[in-house]
Structure 1
Amino acid sequence: MKTKILYVIFCLAILVIGACKKHDYAEGELSPIIAVGDLRSLYKGTDLTLTSEKMEGATQIVGTVISNPDSGNVPKDVVILQNSRRSMVRGIMLALGATSLTYHSGDSLVVKVEGTVLKKVNGALQITGLTPAAITKVSSQNPVTVRAVSSYTIKSNPDQYESTLVQIKAATVMPAPKFGDTFAGEKYLVNGADSIVLHTEATASYAGAAIPSSATFAGILISSQNTAGKTLLQVWPRTGADITDVVKPVDPDGSLGPNPVIITGYVNDSKGADGNYEYFQFRATQNIDFSKTPMAVVTCTNAGTAAPNAGDAPGAGWATGGGRTYKFNLTSGKVKQGDFFYVGGSNKKINGPNTTDISSANWIRSIAYVTNDGDGFGSMSSGLLPNSGNAGGIAIFVGTSVTETSIPADFVLFGGTGVTTIYNATTGKGYRVCDNDHYHVQDPTTSAAQPFIYQGSNTYVIPHSTPADAGIFVKLGGSFDMTNKVWLAPRKFVYYTMTTTSALPDIESGVDVTAVSTK
């Protein structure tokens, strides 16, 4: 009996040990495939020979080719494979020499990697030591995943995006291109406070095409190193079709002239939910066709925790991006001199949920900003403008190229009076001003330069509307001479409390609305 009991205990122990062994339970055995993301995580800074033991029993990777040798814009002698596994999109370079030319974007591959070496080559992680026999092509012309992402997010998590397809929306090309400039070579894509390199080989099929002043750029994110050993991140478009939403270069002197648009009101705290309900009201001081003379609207918020530059002045001013500033590009639509137009959230309600639909107004640009990043910079957010405590702002610019040195055509600041997150006198960082009814780039009394908000005499701020969540439209009433482009009376603020049935005439007419005239 004792012997039988010992035998049963022994068998149970064997079963328990077997149960502890890692299995792919869907297959009933160890998986032969390792996710590219897991493979990349094995690299710890030195060359690594890949073995089945190090890959937990796996010997292969799978994925879809995203490089396109036919376009002429791909690193030499490599195939770039992108893999989506366990909700992770990751990529890796395969060093194949001349054989790389036989694989094309959309090819689905199974690659035996056991016995190869994982190493960094010129700053990019590669699998080296592969032979043609190690690769099996399963199918062709498969779809590939392109992820929309900001340059700020890429630089915060470069390993997640290296050797994958990314899309930088509404990025500004710097230096600002002149007529006749082409894609060939390297340019910077400015995207908020950050930039990333746009790389085009001289052999690329679109290298000689005219480069826009801004556009949405898709391509493969390539890591490389400069002569000093510093890692550089570059976007390599596959073909000319990767460049969309093109905005042609505009007159750098501002073809619209001074004060083409003035800000006449805004909603930063609608009744109930704010997400996709905030909007801004403008009045044109001349006829504008935005398809010919684009503009941009930028909002800012300045909580101490808002990043980048948390607790400090914005590092790139109105162009800081991330959780600080958010951009709307105005590239289509028209407005007549003296008429109102609107920019803001996609819901187009006058006062939040279940209120009057104002989609019939002249909306030049709207974005569902709760789920979408801004045009070129700005992270998706439940609310673009603060409701209390912190300062917020709205600015409009001539052209869609907004950088740290850009000066708005008009802007307003409202909310808190804290200086720390608005202007840093030591570093010379902050939000730049223009000459309008309340701000001046030079002190009117001393003529001293004061290019930033909260510098010198530039201290005007509209208080937060109260009470919170009342559904207030902030009317900015003044008087503007559209012929001479001067303020006859500065804007004052009136808090107009809306109801569920308020309509456009309530916010576009009356003594509290900015008056415009032609004299």
Structure 2
Amino acid sequence: MKIYKSIKTRFFYIAICLAVLLISACQKHNFTAGELSPTIAVGDLRVLYKGADVTLTKEKLLGATQIVGTVISMPDSGNVPSGIVVMQNYRRGVLRGISFSLGNAASAYHSGDSLVINVVGTTLKRVNGSLQISGLSETAIKKVSENNHVTVQSASSYSIKNNPDQYESTLVQIKMATVSPAPNIDDTFAGDRYLVNGADSIMLHTEASASFANAKLPASATVAGILLIGKNNQGETALQLWPRGISDVSDITKPADPNASLGKSPVIVTGYINDTKGADGNYEYFQFRATRDIDFSKTPMAVVSCTNAGAAEPNKGDAPGAGWATGGGRTYKFNLTEGSVLKGEFFYVGGSNKRINGPNTTDISTAKWIRSIAYVTNDGDGFGSATAGLLPNSGNAGGVAIFDGVIVTETSVPVDAVLFGGTGVTTIYNATTNKGYRVADNDHYNALDGSTAQPFFYQGTNTYVIPHSTPADAGFFVKLGGNFDATSKTWLTPRGFKLYQLQPTSSLSDIETGADVNVMSN
């Protein structure tokens, strides 16, 4: 009897649960009954613009009424479009920005101000190419706080041009860019120049009324600023970087003194390692020898490496569009602006790990290192994207060049350069477009063959190439021999090469001594 009552009780509870579920299922559910966020991300706001003016309504904003963000413009600097405030926000892992027109009221908002802005009833449109919000009243803006941190995102000219909407109206930093046209010593910021990263460039814009308009223009620098779209002198739409003040400019290299040239062949390439034992990332390096005393802080130089896989960008499957200055995944630059060497001294440029032959090998950080970069995670000085390897290990051709000065353009001619690896011409020189890597006048290459111009590798008689070391991953240092007269700056014996296999315990003396290393004449 007790068992029967227990079973009956269980069935009773089950029946009640089923009834509740049935009633619940029959009721109409409103899954949007939860309260919508009043705030829309700036990135989501930007995508509402489809080429025509958009009047912003609550419906178009998906139930939102406002945007929030941090002001990045500095009206006191004078280098911001008149009446414009620029704001950016970081939401859902994305940094995006927007400009809004306020007229005279724009001067009340400064970099670091945190704002909440009601945008219902305003218009989203492009003005002179720049996307902005207009029709905004002062009462629609609430300042929450001041002096907040402002995020700066680093980007190359190549990245910006590939995705301008990602960077427009945000604070962007372009690292170690070359200023073009090359400024003279007394040139100032006022006006328009270009910041060159490899094959691409972004206009550097400074209003004549800017607080730093009369500051001296550098030859190269790391420049931060607000990325806007405006009109150039020809009335064409152009991407422009507007620095907010002189504090946005760092890593400055002054224009070259025209009387301070290093002359012919101040440095020669004496070796390199492109395929270390084990991992290559941040372990590749180049060896040079000075043929005169050099203080790089007074007479800077630049080293550029190149790699030419068929899939490498830009100019995929073709010769480099801007030669040694192409950047991206093709060329990578090191600026030599500090330190000094004496005539006859070896020095090194390359990866940050400073090991003779990859992981777990001799530390050579005590050698004369003039410039090193952790290139796996960092872009080059002015151009070149972060990369797992500076030089190819097989198949494709690679090279190393060194230049007088840090300004390297398509027309720059290296003071010395070597080419090694594959013999395929397609990604090195294009005779139709006359694009390629320019040669140095040295022991194996000449820009002229008699009276015939041949300025590029694989053009005319410029066919010398050092073969790849084999087998791969064996840790060969490529020693470049020959006899160079440092007085007459001529090659008495052209460079040969020796594939010197390094061991984990190999030392600097193994790569700096011996008959295979250049002999400097008195």
Distance 1:509 1:138, change over 3 A: same
- State how 1:4-403 maps to structure 2 within 5 Å: 9=22, 11-12=24-25, 14=27, 17-19=29-31, 21=32, 29-225=35-231, 230-252=236-258, 255-403=261-409
Deviation, 1:14, is: 4.5
**1:415 aligned residue:** 421
- State how 1:400-479 maps to structure 2 within 5 Å: 400-443=406-449, 446-479=450-483
Map Cα deviations across residues 53-73 of structure 1 (whole Å, 9 max, x no partner). Answer: 212211111110000000010
What letter corresponds to residue 412 of structure 1 in structure 2? V
What letter corresponds to residue 417 of structure 2 in structure 1? F
Map Cα deviations across residues 426-457 of structure 1 (whole Å, 9 max, x no partner). Answer: 001000111100000001xx431101110000
Deviation, 1:142, is: 0.7
Checking the alignment, whether the CA contact within 8 Å between 1:478 and 1:492 is kept in structure 2 is yes
Q: 3-state SS of the aligned residue for 1:491? A: coil
Map Cα deviations across residues 378-423 of structure 1 (whole Å, 9 max, x no partner). Answer: 0000101000000000000000000000000100100010000000
Deviation, 1:33, is: 0.8
Cα separation, 2, equivalents of 1:157 and 1:439: 39
Structure number with greater Rg is: 2
Deviation, 1:514, is: 1.4
Deviation, 1:18, is: 2.7
Checking the alignment, whether the CA contact within 8 Å between 1:373 and 1:379 is kept in structure 2 is yes
Cα separation, 1, equivalents of 2:25 and 2:104: 56
Cα separation, 1, equivalents of 2:336 and 2:212: 27
Checking the alignment, whether the CA contact within 8 Å between 2:197 and 2:383 is kept in structure 1 is yes
Deviation, 1:6, is: 9.7
Deviation, 1:345, is: 0.4
**2:517 aligned residue:** 513
Q: For structure 2, which runs of at least 5 residues remain unmatched after alignment? A: 1-16
Cα separation, 1, equivalents of 2:260 and 2:315: 30
Q: Matched residues, percent identical?
A: 69
Q: 3-state SS of the aligned residue for 2:484? A: strand
Q: 3-state SS of the aligned residue for 1:30? A: coil
What letter corresponds to residue 90 of structure 1 in structure 2? R
Cα separation, 2, equivalents of 1:300 and 1:239: 35
Cα separation, 2, equivalents of 1:79 and 1:461: 56
Q: 3-state SS of the aligned residue for 1:364? A: strand
Map Cα deviations across residues 107-137 of structure 1 (whole Å, 9 max, x no partner). Answer: 0001111121111111011011111111110
TM-score, normalising length from structure 2? 0.95
Q: What value does the CA root-mean-square deviation take over the aligned residues?
A: 1.7
Deviation, 1:147, is: 1.0
Deviation, 1:238, is: 0.3
Checking the alignment, whether the CA contact within 8 Å between 2:185 and 2:254 is kept in structure 1 is no
Map Cα deviations across residues 155-187 of structure 1 (whole Å, 9 max, x no partner). Answer: 000000000011111111111111211110001
Cα separation, 1, equivalents of 2:176 and 2:42: 30
Cα separation, 2, equivalents of 1:385 and 1:179: 36
Cα separation, 2, equivalents of 1:227 and 1:477: 52
**1:26 aligned residue:** none
- State how 1:482-501 maps to structure 2 within 5 Å: 482-501=486-505
Q: State how many pairs are aligned.
A: 507
What letter corresponds to residue 11 of structure 1 in structure 2? S
**2:484 aligned residue:** 480
Distance 1:115 1:360, change over 3 A: same
Q: For structure 1, which runs of at least 5 residues remain unmatched after alignment? A: 24-28
Cα separation, 2, equivalents of 1:176 and 1:225: 22
Cα separation, 1, equivalents of 2:205 and 2:234: 19
Checking the alignment, whether the CA contact within 8 Å between 1:254 and 1:399 is kept in structure 2 is no
